[in-house]
Amino acid sequence: MQVLQTTAACGYRGAAVDDYMDALELSRPTIYRLLKGLREQGFLRASPIRGRYLLGYELLVLGSQAGNGSGLRDLTRPRLLSLAQRLGDSFYLFALDGFSAVCLEVQNGKYPVGSFVRATGGRVPLGVGQASIALLAYLSKQERESILAHNAQQLEHEYGISLQAINKEIDHLLQVGYARGAEGSHLPEYTGLATPILDHSGHPLGAMSCSMLKSRLSEEHKLQVLQGMRDEVVELVQQAHGLLYIE
Residue type, 66: A
The DSSP line for 153-215 is HHHHHHH---HHHHHHHHHHHHHHS-B-PPP-SS-TTEEEEEEEEE-TTS-EEEEEEEEEEGG
Q: What amino acid is encoded at 106 in this protein?
A: V
3-class DSSP state for residue 228? helix
Question: Counting runs of H as helices and runs of E as strands, what totals does the chain give?
Answer: 9, 8
Q: Which residues lie across from 111 on neighbouring strands?
A: none
- At residue 244, does pLDDT exceed 80? no
Question: The pTM is what?
Answer: 0.72
pLDDT for 67 equals 53
What is the predicted pLDDT for the residue at 243?
Answer: 52
Please measure the distance between the N-terminal and C-terminal CA atoms of the chain and give it in whole angstroms: 30
For the segment 101-144, what is each residue's pLDDT rounded down to a tens digit?
Answer: 989 899 999 988 866 776 788 889 999 999 999 999 999 999 99
Strand order across the 204-213 sheet: 123-125, 100-108, 90-97, 204-213, 190-198
Closest by CA position to 181, among listed 202, 166, 160, 200: 166
SS3 103: strand
Q: Which residue has the higher pLDDT, 201 or 102?
A: 102
Structural fold of domain 2-59:
Arc Repressor Mutant, subunit A (1.10.10)
Q: What is the mean pLDDT of the chain?
A: 88
Is the pLDDT at 187 greater than 80? The verdict is: no
Contact assessment for residue 164 and residue 155, using Cβ atoms and an 8 Å cutoff: no
User: 67-240 has which fold?
Assistant: Beta-Lactamase (3.30.450)
Read off the pLDDT band of 246 (50, 70, 90).
Answer: very low
| Farthest-apart Cα atoms in the chain, separation | 63
User: Domain spans of the chain?
Assistant: 2-59, 67-240
Contact present, 14 and 53 (Cβ < 8 Å): yes
Reported confidence tier of residue 12, pLDDT bands at 50, 70, 90: confident
Per the model's pLDDT, the better-predicted residue between 213 and 114 turns out to be: 213
Taking only the tens place, the pLDDT of each residue in 74-99 is: 889 999 999 999 999 999 999 988 89
